[in-house]
Structures are given as structure tokens and as C-alpha cells.
Structure 1
Amino acid sequence: MKKNRIPYILMALLFSFSLAACDKEEAPKEENTGQVVEEEKKDEPVDDSEEEKEDKEDKKDKEETGDGAEDGTYQGAFMGMNDDIKVEVNLADAKIESIEVIDHSETPGIGGELKDIDGNIKESGLKIPVTDIPKEIVENQSVNIDNITGATASSVAVKKAVEKALKEAGANLDDFNKEIVHDEDFEDIESDVVVLGGGGAGLASAIELAKNGKTVTIVEKNGAIGGDTLVCGAIYNNPDEELQSKVTMSEPVKDQLEEALKAEPVDDDHKELIAEVQKEWDEYNEASRTDLFDSKNWYALQTWNGGDNVGDLDLVKVLTHNSIDGYEWIKDLGMQFDDSIGQGAGSLWQRTHTSKQDMGTGFISVYSQKLEDLSDKINVLVETTADEIIVEDGKAVGAKVIDNHSEKEYNIKAKDGVILATGGFAANAEMVEEYNTSGKWDDLSEVSTTNRFSSSQGDGIVMADEAGADLVDMDLIQLLYLGNTQNGQLTKYPPRDVNGTDQIIFINKEGKRFVREDGRRDDISKASLDQTDGMFYMLESGDGEGYKDIDDPDWRSADGFTLDYLKENGYIFVGETLEEIAKQIGCDVEDLKATIDAFNESVDSGEDEFGRTLYSTKLENGPWVATARQASVHHTMGGVRIDTGARVLDKDGQVIPGLYAGGEVTGGIHGANRLGGNAVVDTVVFGKLSADTLLEDLEK
């Protein structure tokens, strides 16, 4: 029986959140030490007696030979993906009796546990390094166990920390390093539907199918579900009349709308959409309204325009017109959002809803709970990689999969169909290089990615291509300017920096603004790449709604790190005055002051040299916070071609029976530039739609 066949699972969550991608294949640092828990610190005597010297020599010999392991509780620490992972190892009768991770800052759902909205940590049925690696070491009495796929750094760190504790105990490490043999038998599995990919789109599909009585097998190559949804910005776009009624529409924002309405139509469909929005805008003005205007059609027009009018407008309408239903659907599952509307980074309009939980953990914890509720219908296979879509008589009927550790292959049969939800290829450098032919970007070979290396490899796109699917927009690649300057990940920044666009400015190393902060993601990314060292700072002050005193000892970054950690590791710079912050980032203070003064004048006048339209706050008072950022490969807009029902199309434009797709694995939706906050909408709308269409097709 396959060990990863998990009936299911309440994934739980963590108390110390950090969203660095723990799946990076990099070796943790070696500068960590073990420590005996009970040991008290004592002053060294000036001169040792002969007896004391002999005792020390005996202890040294025991540590070197490993012959002197003593029962007791010992600690070890080793650098994980974000910080030290500390373990406590209990030895009894020359065996490891128990191991407990007592402190860590690993990514929830990847290296560490999940938590629910109330912060409760629950028993997890999935493989998480900080819980499962210790259990497997104890079970096998060996640290020579497999790393958890997608969490290599965390897995290695736990094992190394245990080794440090064993060494401190005087154990012979060879005694705890035996090879583990994988001898499991693997049988073919049958279910109504197989979903390839356990990220946001795949989970939405599986849940919708199970709610309608179908049995589902989810195939996830990582050790836990979540995919890149776990490390997303947790923002969801949709028109919201109630929340937008509390927002006053400024003249610059009106100008932005009217400029779009004056644009020359690209085709008849574009002309018709402009006319629909114009009609709605006229009705708004006739009613003398002052609140923020929005509609499904305006959302569609902005999304299509924002993608340079090259996407499939029919697919754009499916995304935007179903966004409200998707929002209500996931809220009904238990998802909780803040009770205010904002403008996410690159979203271009104040229709962004933000999760109450850090990053994507809210979405995944909600999905996890629902999977638990539907455990009689949903079977999740982790540490399992889909290798091929099985097509018989022209219909998709299952998938060939491989166990990650034994490398044994077997089949999953799916009589009703296959749903492809494996994500994009932003973390696959070879694919990025191959398809980076649009001319928008120069060489991207040295540019980092915000995505999880283990998730965004484009393997689903390759499988679909081999199964006869057509691919579309593969050359359309998005960069995001929010990557940290150390590894490019979407991590370690103050809470306002994603959704507080109206309260921050972007400055280069010379202390000068260089771009419209509320503009398109590609425009900001291109501009940032042109700055000194290809980086910039997001600068915020102590002013504005939502500012939390940075001197508060409970202050945390958006992903759970303390102020001291971020400062000490060079992620942010903090100063009470402009002089202090200018000195820290190395710019001329007079240039920085001139930049701030010019911006504050723009807040008063509503006119900005870079065309910014969204203002709410003058930057006047400290403390000042500068967050170092760079552009990273973030989203791939190309992928499998689908119709408006999420059916996969072949190279002749015909439906491949039994094959459906949702999420970033698809192409044609976002065009040349995806609006911020539309990715999660994509996973919810098209993930659910793929399931609904499959069910409808079965009834025909």
C-alpha cells in the first residue's frame, strides 16, 4: 500500500509565520552548535587539577569516538530557510526516545505547521519537516531519511540540528545514519476524477467535485498541498458595492477611467465592452454619486487593457464576471477577509480584498478544513509527481505518476476526467529562457523568482503538450517588483508594502522617485531594473491610516519577522529622521528631502510628475522605513489553451474530451501583464469552473 495515500488531512498552521520559499535546493549554513539543556554555565577555573584534566580528556575522547553517549535531553540548532531550527532530543538506553522542534520560523504549510484564523495548531496528516522529520528519525533511529519534497532546506536543517544534539550527547553518529530502504508496493488507483496539482486551483476543483458526490484523487509532488498559493500576496479582486461605497472617487481616478473610455477600440468586442462601461459610467454621473465607481464590465476592461489587449476577451469576462460569485463561494467555505477595500500592488483599482491571515495560509487552511470534511470523497497523494496524462481513444482517462522517493511508477485511473492545475513555469530557468521572446524583457537568466522552485516548473504544460493540447501566450512573462534583494522571494517586508500603495513611494539609491507607484507591474519592474544595482527602496513614514508603531515589541513584518531580525539581516532600514534613513541607504539627504517635498505637493494638488492617481497620505513624520526590493520573475501568462468552460483545446481548436484546466497552467486570460490580485481570482474561478463544466459534460 502506498504510504502517501492519505485519506485526509486537516493541515494546520504555524505560530511563527515566514513566507520564504523553503523548497529552495540550497544547503543550510554550518555555523550552528548543539547545547545540553540541563547544562549550567560556570566560570572556568584558572588552573585545572590533574583529575579535572583527565575528566576533560575522557569527555573529549568520548565526543570524538561516540562511545560516551549518555541518557538525557539535549538541544541542537541549525539554520533553516529563515532562521535557526532548534530541536530537543531525548536519549534513553542509547536510543532516540523523542525529538521535539522547540523553535523555528519556517514557512507555514511548507517547512512549518499551518494555523487557523484563531491561531490554533492542529494535528497534520501531511508531511511537514518540523513535525514529520522528527517522527521519522525516531521511528527509523536514523537521520538518513528522505527530505520532504518542496521543503529541502527545512528538512536538512531539522536533521542537522538533531545531529548537533547527538554529537553533544557524545553519540556515535554512524549509529544513527543507517540507510532507509523503500520497499513499498504500489497499486493502481481508481477514482472518478484525478486532479493534478494541489495548489489553489486544484483544491478548488477537488472540493467542488466532492461536494457534488464525485470521488477525487489529488496528486501533489510536494510534501504538502498549497503550491504557490501558500506564498501569494493573499489578495483577491472583485467589485464590492458595500465596501467601495465608503471610498470617495478622486478626480485623478475619474480621469483614469475616462481615458480608458476614450481609447480607440481594437475590435468590435472591445468597442462593445467600452460602450457597456460608458453606459454604466453615465448612470453613475446622472445619480451624482461620489463613491468609487466599479462594475464587472469595468473590471473586465481594465484587465484586458492591462494585458495590452492581447488576451482572450471572452476568458477575461469569465474571470471578472464570476469574481463576485467566487468571492462568495470561498467565503462560504470559511475564508475571512479584512472589512475594507484597497488597491493591491499592480491591481490598478481599489477592488482588492486582503486575507485576514498571512499571505496564502488563509486560503490553504480553509481548503484544508474542507478537505477534512470531505475526506470520504477526496484522496490526497503527496510526494507524488504526475508524469503523463493517460489518453485512450482520444479521451483523458487518468495519469501516470511516480513516487518521489522510490521512483516507482503506477497509474491513477479517472473514469470521468482529468483536471490540470499544476501552475506555471516561473521557477524553471530553462523554460523562462526558452520562451522569453516577446522583446519586453532582456536576458532573465540572472533574475530571481518569487515562486517556489518545486512548484512552478511547468511540468503540467509539458504533459498537456505531449497529450496534444495547444499552448498559447507562452512568451508572456511577468516580473514583480516586490522580491527581496537577497533571494528574490516575496518575503520580509512591512505590511503596508503590498496593499498600502497610496501611503508609500519608491526611491532609488540616489533617493529619487523614478516611477508611478500605483501603475502596472511590468512598468514598475522595467523601471526598477534600470536603477542603480537593479534595486530600489519602498519608503514609508509614520503617517497614515493603518500604521502600526514600529517601536511596538509585538511589531512583525507581513510574514512574521521581528523588526530586529529584518534590520540585522538588511531587509529593512529604520530611522527616526530623514537624515538617519538617508545615511543608512547611502543617499544625499537633501536629494531625499526634495523628493519628499515634491511628493507631498502632489498629494495636495492631485497632480504627479509620474502620473500617479492614488494618494491618501503625506510623508512627514518618522519613523521612516526603507525596504530594499528588486524585480523577480513572478507569473507566466502563457499555458494550455482552454475554452470558456475550462476545457482544454487541441492544436486544431477542438476540445480534448475529459481534460480540463484551471489556474496558472492555462494561457490566454491575463494577456501581456497580469493585474495584481487577479491570480487568486483565477484559481478560484477557473478551478471551480473546471469542476462545474466536467459535471455538466457528464450530464450531456
Structure 2
Amino acid sequence: MLIFSTGCPRFVKVSVALQLLTSLLSIASKTLACPATGYCTMEAAPESRHVVIVGGGLAGLTAALEVVKNKGRVTIIEKCAKLGGNSAKASSGINGAETAPQNALGIPDSTALFKEDTLRSGKGRCAAELVDVLVNKSAGAIDALQSLGIDLSNIAQCGGHSRPRTHRAAATAKATNIGGVIMHTLIDHLHSLPPSAVQVLTNTRALELLQDSRTGRVKGVRCRVGDGSGEGDRAVEADAVVLATGGYSADREGLLQKHVPGVSRLATTNGAWATGDGVKLGLAIGAGSVDLDQVQLHPTGLVDPKDPTNPTKFLAPEALRAIGGILLNQKGERFVDELSTRDVVAQAILEHCQPLQLEGATKRAAEEATLAPVTAFLVLNDESVERFGRSVAEFYMKMGFMQKFATEEELCDHWRLPVAHVARTLDEYGRVEHDAFGKPSAPVLFRLDQSLYTCLVTPSLHYTMGGLKIDTGGRVLTQAGDVIPGLWAAGEVTGGVHGANRLAGNSLLECMVFGKLVGEGASDPSAEQQPSPVPSSERQTQFA
């Protein structure tokens, strides 16, 4: 896995590399002419709009790039010591339909199919107009990342998708995750250019949105720098504010307990920073909300056999099942189509599998006021490991998350599974005419001459589909649908895109697409007065 550190001091002026993804731009004399997919440095004009962006993940940095491209100035407020957030942990990939990598591999796809899959996964709760924006700008988002030198040639068909469209880097000798690669690339550009238009405040928490007492317009952020003593409190004034703080999957005593108390004690794949700060900031000034009770359990949080009740889980990406991994219960039997949507697979694990029975697990769970995890066995063979990336598998083995066995008997002896049932399951998988769980095809077949690999997995809090109410341009709305002037939001802090269940690969895409839109809107003083943009029904080849 790629580990990076930005080394940001508490208050650092940095410049931003601008990706110009439209046709050749006519740039002011203070800027450098550059090709449509290249970079240039742009000095902000003294009278330029100042935009405060709360959150330093992919949505926030994408918005920042767009603001500066439009000659604005940016202050990024990040409560952690470094940029990246949960975006840096994303591992399955980023979705796109009708993309250049798909075309190169002969994969037939369309934005219409992509929209159908997203709406079906959302179970009637998606805002169709937001989904239109997401899918129609997806190919442009892939193009934009590739123009930065990011490899997206490895495409998988993850759960709930009717076509292979989840893009990530090809397997290499170095263990990487695609979210880390993307964030590392953006952060490198932030820190490699001369100081110009961006200020980054790390270790700084946003406390309150500032409003004009007469108009209600959001005009800045009150924030606290440092140790929380209050001595570092300051007001950062702005022409517009963008909320990009992510979700609330680690806010156990707050939003989770209030809206979905039944899952608040489950393990989470999120970092401790995922406490819904942006949602709370917006709600405090009258912003509307959507689907705050809709929380996604990822079916495969990795269980460390040496620390099974740790409340924070490392994620076993959906790509592990997309390339051939199957799920077994304690009877040694499959119980679900592994490529169903995440909610279906997670619920099947909870219904057909048992709590982990390792020595001390149940007692420790009680002591920690959490649950002994209900676990399934994720089983792979050599072929699937090679397709996923052996370097990543070796990383998992080094961390203790994955075990390798020479034979079925060795695997069953280790996990106390019935050999006959496991042998029959592996032998029948993909070789019977009709899969018992409706899986259309088996990505790999299991053979006796291949090693086997297992991971213990458990459903874990992963993503919050609910959040602030927005329009198709990312403007934050009241519950009645009125625009809150000066306030924008993008990424997991918002609701409406994913409905009741998010498809794998749509999170990074949402950050890219809506991050760019809010950066564009927040830097345009006329955008707040315009009607909500109407999404195009056509695929947009330019990420514009």
C-alpha cells in the first residue's frame, strides 16, 4: 500500500498545478500558455474571489484546482496533520463509462447502462438528476486522471455493475492502492510549484460557518488551529465556502447514534476523522439533508486474527471478489453471489455466517462494548491473486490479513472447516450449468494444483450515502430547496447521488465530478444567481 506524508506545516502557502481539460485556453498575460491536458501556473489577481475549502481529500483538492484555474484564491482547512482523508484509502477503483481504457480493451459500455446500474443499486432513493451528472462526466474524469500520468488500464466488473467499468492501475511489483496514487499525485503537484494562489491550514478544525446577518450569505469559516485550547481561533473570510469533509462512519456517538443506532457499534473502515463535520456545519445554519439514515456496510472489512475486535478495519477491496474471490461460511459453503451489491452481500454474511470463535474474542468484545465480528472466509487461488496483484497480496500476508495454504486440507485444518464441504464447493464453482446464487459466470476456476489464500472478512461501516442536500451544480440547499448563498458541497458530505447503496468505484468518481463543479461555481460570482443547472443527457467527452 502506498504510504505518503505531505509534511504540511500548520500554515503553508503552496501553489496549485492546474489541469486544463478543455480546449486551448486564452490565458491572461500573467499565466503560462499550456496545452489542453497540461499544467500551468496561474497567479491569482488581487481582486480575485477567495474560496475557503473545508476538507483536504479528493473532492476538496479537485475543487481547489478548479478555483485557481478560474483565477481565484483558495484556503484549504484540514483538521488532520496531512491531506488525503479517506480518499487516500480507496482501493477498488474509479468508475467510468465509454472510457478510453474500456475502448482499448473492447469493453462495451454506455452511460445509459451506468445510470441504470447506479439507480438500481440506490433502490429508488437516488436523485436521478445528480446521477446524470455523475455518469455523463465519468469518461472525462478518467481522461483527466490519465493526463496526470495515472495508470487506469486495469478494469474490473465489481458488484452491481453490468459491465467492467471500475478502473485502477495495473498490477505491479509495488503494492499500491488507486486512491493513494491519485492523492499522492495531486499533493505532489500542490507542493512542487512556487507559492501562488493556495493556502493550506492543517491541524485546523472548522467550528462554524460565518454568515451575513442581513442576507444569510455564507461569508467565511471560524476555525481553530492546533491543540483545541481556543487560543488559535480565527475567522477566515471568503467569497464562498466549499464543504468537502467526507462522511460520518466514525461518528459513533453523534450522527450514527441519532440516525442509525443499530449499526453504531459495528467496526468501521474509516479513519477517526470521519465524524460528519461538514454535515453538522451545514445543518447548523439551516441546510437541508438527504438520507442520513442510509449507511453502507462494506461486506469485507479485514479481520486480523490477532486483533479480531479492533473497531477499525482495513478494507478488503471489492476487486478481490471481482477477480475471482469467493465467500464461504463456517459450513464450507457459498451462500451468495459474490458480485451482488454491497448491501446484499453484507446482509448475507450476517444471516449465513457466525461470530468469530477465536480464543478471547467474545470476552474482549464485551469488554470493549463492541461486537465479536460475524465473519466469512474470502477464498482465492493463484490465478485470482495474480490478477489482483501479488504484491498487494504479499502486503496483506505480511500484515496478517491473508493466509496461504498449499492444499484444501491444510486450509480446513487451520480454520476448522469441513474438508468434504469445502472440496465440493471449490470443485463445483463455475462448473455447474446454473449457479445456485445466480452468478452469471465465474471469473476463475479452482484447481487442485494451485495454492489457496484466505482472508477473514466482516461487514463494516464503510460509507454514508446521506448528507447535505445539493443541486446539480453542488450548491447547498435548504430542506425546502432554496439555495444557501455562498455555500457549496461535494463528495461524501452530500446526499442524493447514491441512494440506499453506493456502487463500488462511484465514490472517487463523485469526488472528481462534483469537486470540479463546485470549484467552478464557487469561483463564479454569477453562479449563485443562476437556476440549477440542467444535466446533459449526453456523454461529455471533456471534463468541463
Match of 2:326 in 1: 505
SS at match of 1:386: strand
Deviations along 1:651-673, whole A, 9 cap, x unmatched?
22110111100000000110000
The verdict on how the C-alpha distance between 1:358 and 1:292 changes in structure 2, with shifts beyond 3 A counting, is closer
Question: Among residues 430, 438, 455, which one is paired with 1:600 in the alignment?
Answer: 430
The one of the two structures with greater contact order (alpha-carbon pairs below 8 A, sep at least 6) is 2
**1:220 counterpart = 2:78:** yes
Match of 1:615 in 2: 442
Output the CA distance in 2 between the equivalents of 1:293 and 1:557. 29
Match of 1:481 in 2: 299
Aligned pairs, number: 455
**1:397 counterpart = 2:255:** no
Give, in angstroms, the shift of residue 230 of structure 1. 1.3
**RMSD of aligned C-alpha atoms?**
2.4
Q: Supply the AA of the counterpart residue of 1:618.
A: L
Q: Is the 8 A contact 1:191 1:217 kept in 2?
A: no
Match of 1:267 in 2: none
SS at match of 2:207: strand
**1:428 counterpart = 2:428:** no
Deviations along 1:299-340, whole A, 9 cap, x unmatched?
1111011100211100111111111112222333x1512423
Q: Is the 8 A contact 2:117 2:161 kept in 1?
A: no
Match of 1:56 in 2: none
SS at match of 1:652: coil
Match of 1:412 in 2: 236
**1:208 counterpart = 2:27:** no
- 1:246-257 alignment runs, 5 A limit: none
Give, in angstroms, the shift of residue 242 of structure 1. 4.5
Match of 2:376 in 1: 536
The verdict on how the C-alpha distance between 1:242 and 1:464 changes in structure 2, with shifts beyond 3 A counting, is closer
- Structure 1: segments with no counterpart, 5+ residues: 1-16, 19-107, 115-123, 128-189, 248-290, 438-442, 550-554
SS at match of 2:382: coil
Give, in angstroms, the shift of residue 241 of structure 1. 5.1
Output the CA distance in 2 between the equivalents of 1:196 and 1:234. 25
Q: Supply the AA of the counterpart residue of 1:396.
A: V
Match of 2:474 in 1: 646
**1:376 counterpart = 2:234:** no
The verdict on how the C-alpha distance between 1:518 and 1:298 changes in structure 2, with shifts beyond 3 A counting, is same
**1:467 counterpart = 2:285:** yes
Match of 2:116 in 1: 301
Q: Supply the AA of the counterpart residue of 1:654.
A: D
The verdict on how the C-alpha distance between 1:545 and 1:447 changes in structure 2, with shifts beyond 3 A counting, is closer
Q: Is the 8 A contact 2:84 2:183 kept in 1?
A: yes
Match of 1:626 in 2: 454
Output the CA distance in 2 between the equivalents of 1:458 and 1:671. 18
- 1:284-295 alignment runs, 5 A limit: 292-295=107-110
Q: Is the 8 A contact 1:427 1:449 kept in 2?
A: yes
The verdict on how the C-alpha distance between 1:524 and 1:330 changes in structure 2, with shifts beyond 3 A counting, is same
Deviations along 1:63-89, whole A, 9 cap, x unmatched?
xxxxxxxxxxxxxxxxxxxxxxxxxxx
Output the CA distance in 2 between the equivalents of 1:228 and 1:514. 30
Output the CA distance in 1 between the equivalents of 2:157 and 2:128. 23
Q: Is the 8 A contact 2:337 2:439 kept in 1?
A: yes
Q: Is the 8 A contact 2:56 2:245 kept in 1?
A: yes
Match of 1:231 in 2: 89
Q: Is the 8 A contact 1:231 1:360 kept in 2?
A: yes
Match of 1:316 in 2: 131
Give % identity. Answer: 29
Output the CA distance in 2 between the equivalents of 1:499 and 1:433. 31
Match of 2:497 in 1: 669
| TM-score (normalizing by structure 1) | 0.62
The verdict on how the C-alpha distance between 1:343 and 1:375 changes in structure 2, with shifts beyond 3 A counting, is farther
SS at match of 2:52: strand
Question: Among residues 146, 162, 166, which one is paired with 1:352 in the alignment?
Answer: 166
Q: Supply the AA of the counterpart residue of 2:272.
A: F
Give, in angstroms, the shift of residue 646 of structure 1. 0.4
Output the CA distance in 2 between the equivalents of 1:673 and 1:679. 11
- Structure 2: segments with no counterpart, 5+ residues: 11-47, 171-175, 356-373, 530-544
Output the CA distance in 1 between the equivalents of 2:313 and 2:386. 21
Q: Supply the AA of the counterpart residue of 1:580.
A: E
Q: Is the 8 A contact 2:318 2:504 kept in 1?
A: no
Give, in angstroms, the shift of residue 346 of structure 1. 5.1
The verdict on how the C-alpha distance between 1:579 and 1:497 changes in structure 2, with shifts beyond 3 A counting, is farther
SS at match of 1:223: coil
Give, in angstroms, the shift of residue 543 of structure 1. 3.0
The verdict on how the C-alpha distance between 1:398 and 1:451 changes in structure 2, with shifts beyond 3 A counting, is same
Q: Supply the AA of the counterpart residue of 1:378.
A: V
Deviations along 1:81-102, whole A, 9 cap, x unmatched?
xxxxxxxxxxxxxxxxxxxxxx
The verdict on how the C-alpha distance between 1:492 and 1:685 changes in structure 2, with shifts beyond 3 A counting, is closer
- 1:268-287 alignment runs, 5 A limit: none
Deviations along 1:253-302, whole A, 9 cap, x unmatched?
xxxxxxxxxxxxxxxxxxxxxxxxxxxxxxxxxxxxxx543111111111
Q: Name the larger-Rg structure.
A: 1
Question: Among residues 141, 164, 167, which one is paired with 1:326 in the alignment?
Answer: 141
SS at match of 2:154: coil
- 1:19-38 alignment runs, 5 A limit: none
SS at match of 2:155: coil
**1:574 counterpart = 2:404:** yes
Give, in angstroms, the shift of residue 211 of structure 1. 1.9
Give, in angstroms, the shift of residue 348 of structure 1. 5.1
SS at match of 2:167: strand
SS at match of 1:557: helix
Residue range with higher mean Cα deviation, 499-508 or 674-683:
499-508
- 1:10-25 alignment runs, 5 A limit: 17=1
The verdict on how the C-alpha distance between 1:417 and 1:561 changes in structure 2, with shifts beyond 3 A counting, is same
- 1:22-101 alignment runs, 5 A limit: none
SS at match of 1:216: strand
Match of 2:509 in 1: 681
Deviations along 1:33-67, whole A, 9 cap, x unmatched?
xxxxxxxxxxxxxxxxxxxxxxxxxxxxxxxxxxx
Q: Is the 8 A contact 2:249 2:268 kept in 1?
A: yes
The verdict on how the C-alpha distance between 1:238 and 1:695 changes in structure 2, with shifts beyond 3 A counting, is same
Q: Is the 8 A contact 1:335 1:363 kept in 2?
A: no
The verdict on how the C-alpha distance between 1:232 and 1:488 changes in structure 2, with shifts beyond 3 A counting, is farther
Q: Is the 8 A contact 2:404 2:454 kept in 1?
A: yes
Q: Supply the AA of the counterpart residue of 2:328.
A: I
Q: Supply the AA of the counterpart residue of 2:503.
A: L
Q: Is the 8 A contact 2:338 2:345 kept in 1?
A: yes
Output the CA distance in 2 between the equivalents of 1:458 and 1:433. 12
- 1:518-529 alignment runs, 5 A limit: 518-529=339-350
The verdict on how the C-alpha distance between 1:335 and 1:686 changes in structure 2, with shifts beyond 3 A counting, is farther
The verdict on how the C-alpha distance between 1:695 and 1:448 changes in structure 2, with shifts beyond 3 A counting, is same
Match of 2:207 in 1: 387
Q: Supply the AA of the counterpart residue of 2:521.
A: T
Question: Among residues 557, 560, 580, which one is paired with 2:392 in the alignment?
Answer: 557
The verdict on how the C-alpha distance between 1:385 and 1:335 changes in structure 2, with shifts beyond 3 A counting, is farther
Output the CA distance in 2 between the equivalents of 1:375 and 1:612. 54
Give, in angstroms, the shift of residue 363 of structure 1. 1.2
The verdict on how the C-alpha distance between 1:684 and 1:585 changes in structure 2, with shifts beyond 3 A counting, is same
Deviations along 1:370-419, whole A, 9 cap, x unmatched?
323374111000000000111112111100001131433110000x2000
Output the CA distance in 1 between the equivalents of 2:379 and 2:487. 47
Q: Is the 8 A contact 1:234 1:355 kept in 2?
A: no
